[in-house]
Every structure is written in C-alpha cells, then in structure tokens.
C-alpha cells in the first residue's frame, strides 16, 4: 500500500547520503516518517555525555532542516514509542541502520522480536563484526591480522557509497520538537565549540573535503603532530554517522591515485580500520567498557587520589603537554590522538589511577565519545586490552612534547601562561634557570603548577606494580 507510511528510525546515521536504511525506505515508494528517539532508558551507565549531547542537538537540527522539518522527536523507551507511532499513523514497517553497542544490540533484538516489520541495514561500519572472523570462527584479538587477513583479505569489499535519494516523500506527523529532548546544557560552556565545529552532514562533507585536499598528503608522519593539519577531525562526524566510513574510505582511495599519496592513503584507511577493530572487540567482548580483557589486571593495585585526578582533568599537572591536551579537550571537545595517548599513559602509569577514570572523563567531555573506540583505546593504554601497548611502555611527557611539539605551538596555544617560555624549557619548565623563568614571567607553583608527581619515581613504581601481576 503506497499510502501507508513507513518509519525511518535515525540513530547513529544522521545523514541522507549513503544511508542504506533511508534508501530502502525510499524505494518502497511510501511516505517516510523520519524519527529520532533519545533513548536514556536502555543505555544504563552509557547515557550520552554532555559534549555529545551538545553535538547531537546541532546534528539533529541540521538533519531536520534537510528533511523539511518533518522529523519526529521522542525521548524514552523505543519499543512502546514505536508501537504508539505505528498505531497512530498506520505504519507497519520500520527501517534502521544497525548499532553495535551491547545495550543497543539487546534493545534492537527485543524490538525485532516484538515488531514484525522491523528491517535493519549496515550503515555504520565497513566490515560488520560477524563478517570478520578467524578461520576457526573465533574473533581476532590482534589488530594487524584482523585488518590485513580479515578485513582486507576474507571479508566482502565495503559497499561503495550511494547518493542521497532525491524527491523524498515525507510524511507530516505532528509531535515533539527537538527542544523537548533538552540536549543543550543550561550553562553555556560550548562557546568555543561553536566556533570550531559544524555538526551535521554539511560540516562532515566539508571536513572530508578539506582533509583530502590539504591534510591527507603527509598524513602518515604528520598525524603525530598535534599542532599540524594532517588529521581529519572526522571523529565526531563518523561517530554520529553524519558521514559514512565508506565515503571516507573510498575518498582516500581515490586521492591515493589522483594525488599519488599511496602510503598516506593506506595509513588513513588503516586508522578507519582501528575503528572497525574497536567495534569488533566491543561486539565480541561486550564487557570491554568495564572489564579488563586481560584478567590478570584485575589484581592491579590502583591508587586513589582525588586531588591528582582533578589536576589531570583540569590540566593542572605541571606537565605542559598533558595540561595542553586536557585543556584542548575541555575547550574544544576534541584532543589529538598523540596527546590522548600521552595523557592516558600519564593518568594510568604515572598517577596509577584506574583507566575507568579516564574513560569516564573522556565519555563526558569528548564530542566523539564512542563506546567502542573509547573503551578499546583506554584498555590499550592501560596495557590490559587485546593487542595492548605493553605495560612497560610509559610515555614520557617531556620527550613526547619535545618530539611532537618541538616549536611548542600546541602547548603555547592551550597553556598561554607558558607563552614566553623558550622552546628549550617549554616542556620542562622546572629545569629552567631563575632568570629564564623571570624573563618568561613564569613563577612555578603560582602562575603555573609545579609537577604534581616525579616522572622517574612514578614510572618505577608503576613498572614494579605491573611486573607483580
């Protein structure tokens, strides 16, 4: 029946291009009810954090505008809400793209069992977790074989991106508005984010274009420089599905040929591969966000130190690159990958604080907070994950700063009180002679904190604790 509407339930696929569920719904020829449900009912402790909610609000606003303001917004438990919408509109079919967080899988399974007309598609991953398994049918735990043998070897080639359908037949149905979801925070801490980001499909397309034109060439090396231009900053757009990984993947492939930057393109594609790997780990090990994959870490003697945790969260540790990273996160909702590794190692291996503290802080403050990437990366940093950094790899924030921010551009941007410090002492101001500190206007312990911990002693303590388990 061409007049019976179908429901298109948007979730982490807030786009019109290359959206398999939307294409399928459109191909029915029936009017489409575009729906978003804010589900804080089933998410348990993984309710979206503050920064994510700010992004989501703007992303939904942009999507609604490109759907002639016909979106229906609801909040609550999806099953009864879907039943109600079906009853009121006569819709019998629901289309959605699959999500892979354990709580969403459980919820969707339940909905599929309860509602006959539910149809799901893959719109968020290049290689769905159940399609990338070892020859014996078990999941990979190590990235390189996962990617090379699994994804690039046995798994089917990723779908080529498809255009957005034209002349969408949208159903008019009055119901809640976006503002009813109350996603925006009461305190306006997001001023700088507004300047730095453009949530939504258009912003995502723009980011990809700029990255391919200006950032991809030199990505392999340049991606380690936090002040550089070589990273894509696509992560929040990918997380919310404003752009498909397929479009990013094939754009890099094309650029490899057109620009002749094969190594850079391949490296970028392998980073998208890490995203697939994290999703595969979460899918096959649903306790990844909470339980150490290597259970011997359950006996690790973590410290408890609220003061140190607060210094870390607020960028007041006295280690400039750590503080720059934590302040970048607070101000912009993003942190460069190299710096995420440095601040993560500092929290876990110098302060000896449980990786859960880092995971939770990132969850609330990152615009790209993603259950798979965040928990897999924290386990990697702590050394307790699959294919993790070995426990003895402790990032030294001074040498990392000197190597990856040699001119101090990044640190000076986020730690302006060290702005006049000469490069030689920027990453270790405590080594500067008094006259240099005076010249730079830095008084340690007053204008900028003294280091909250001794690097060498804390490293040794960590190594001895790690070697005992």
In the window 377-406, what residues touch ligand FAD (CB under 6 A)?
Answer: 377-378, 381
Q: Footprint of ligand FAD on residues 11-30 (CB under 6 A)? A: none
**Residue 350 touching ligand FAD (CB under 6 A):** no
**Smallest distance from the beta carbon of 363 to ligand FAD, in angstroms?**
7
Nearer to ligand FAD, 283 or 362 (CB): 362
Cβ proximity of 129 and 275 under 8 Å: no
- Whether 302 sits among the annotated catalytic residues: the reply is yes
CB of 49 to ligand FAD, least distance (A): 10
If one asks whether residue 124 binds ligand FAD (CB under 6 A), the answer comes out as: no
Q: Does 275 bind ligand FAD (CB under 6 A)?
A: yes
Does 233 contact ligand FAD by CB under 6 A? Answer: yes
* Closer residue to ligand FAD in complex, CB, 94/376: 376
How many residues bind to ligand FAD according to rule CB under 6 A? 27
Q: Which of 124, 232, 331, 458 binds ligand FAD (CB under 6 A)?
A: 232
Among 250, 274, 302, 430, binds ligand FAD (CB under 6 A): 274
Residue number, 59 or 64, with CB nearest to ligand FAD: 59
For the question of residue 355 being annotated catalytic, the response is yes
Is 330 among the catalytic positions?
no
Report the residue from 11, 223, 354, 427 that binds ligand FAD according to the rule CB under 6 A: 223
Residue 271 or 305: which CB sits closer to ligand FAD? 271
Give min distance, CB of 231 to ligand FAD, in A: 3
Among 169, 294, 337, 402, binds ligand FAD (CB under 6 A): 337
Per rule CB under 6 A, is residue 271 in the interface with ligand FAD?
yes
- Of 18 and 417, nearer to ligand FAD (C-beta) is 18
Which of 96, 355, 361, 363 is labelled catalytic? 355
Q: Between residues 48 and 428, which has the closer beta carbon with respect to ligand FAD? A: 48
Of the candidates 128, 169, 224, 274, the residue annotated as catalytic is 274
Chain residues in the site for ligand FAD (CB under 6 A): 223, 231-235, 238-239, 271-272, 274-275, 278, 337, 340-341, 344, 362, 366, 368-370, 373-374, 377-378, 381
Active site amino acids: 271, 274, 302, 337, 355, 378
């Amino acid at each position: 029946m061409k007049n019976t509407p179908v429901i298109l339930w948007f979730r982490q696929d807030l786009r019109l291009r290359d959206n398999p569920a939307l294409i399928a719904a459109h191909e029915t020829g029936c009017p489409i009810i575009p729906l978003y449900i804010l589900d804080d009912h089933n998410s348990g402790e993984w309710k979206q954090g503050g920064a994510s909610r700010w992004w989501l609000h703007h992303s939904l606003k942009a999507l609604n505008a490109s759907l002639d303001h016909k979106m229906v917004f609801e909040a609550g438990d999806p099953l009864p809400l879907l039943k109600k919408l079906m009853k009121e509109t006569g819709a019998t079919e629901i289309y959605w793209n699959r999500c892979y967080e354990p709580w969403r899988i459980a919820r969707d399974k339940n909905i599929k069992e309860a509602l006959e007309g539910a149809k799901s598609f893959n719109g968020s991953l290049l290689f769905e977790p159940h399609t990338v398994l070892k020859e014996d049918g078990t999941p990979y735990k190590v990235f390189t074989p996962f990617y090379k043998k699994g994804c690039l070897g046995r798994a089917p080639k990723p779908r080529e991106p498809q255009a957005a359908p034209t002349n969408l037949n949208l159903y008019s149905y009055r119901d809640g508005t976006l503002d009813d979801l109350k996603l925006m925070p009461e305190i306006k801490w997001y001023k700088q984010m507004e300047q730095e980001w453009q949530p939504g499909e258009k912003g995502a397309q723009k980011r990809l274009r700029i990255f391919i034109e200006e950032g991809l060439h030199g990505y392999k090396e340049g991606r380690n420089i936090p002040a550089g231009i070589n990273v894509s900053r696509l992560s929040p757009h990918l997380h919310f599905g404003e752009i498909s990984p397929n479009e990013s993947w094939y754009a890099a492939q094309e650029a490899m040929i057109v620009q002749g930057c094969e190594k850079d393109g391949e490296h970028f594609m392998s980073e998208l591969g890490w995203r697939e790997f994290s999703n595969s780990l979460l899918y096959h090990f649903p306790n990844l966000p909470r339980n150490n994959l290597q259970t011997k870490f359950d006996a690790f003697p973590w410290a408890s130190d609220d003061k140190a945790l607060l210094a870390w969260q607020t960028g007041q540790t006295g280690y400039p690159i750590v503080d720059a990273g934590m302040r970048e996160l607070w101000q912009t909702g993003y942190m460069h990958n190299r710096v995420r590794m440095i601040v993560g190692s500092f929290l876990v291996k110098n302060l000896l604080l449980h990786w859960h503290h880092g995971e939770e802080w990132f969850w609330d403050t990152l615009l790209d907070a993603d259950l798979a990437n965040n928990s897999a990366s924290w386990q990697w940093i702590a050394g307790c994950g699959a294919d993790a950094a070995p426990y003895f790899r402790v990032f030294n924030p001074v040498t990392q700063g000197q190597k990856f921010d040699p001119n101090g551009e990044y640190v000076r941007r986020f730690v302006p009180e060290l702005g006049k410090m000469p490069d030689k002492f920027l990453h270790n101001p405590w080594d500067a002679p008094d006259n240099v500190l005076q010249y730079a206007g830095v008084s340690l312990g007053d204008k900028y904190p003294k280091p909250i911990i001794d690097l060498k002693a804390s490293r040794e303590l960590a190594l001895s604790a790690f070697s005992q388990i």
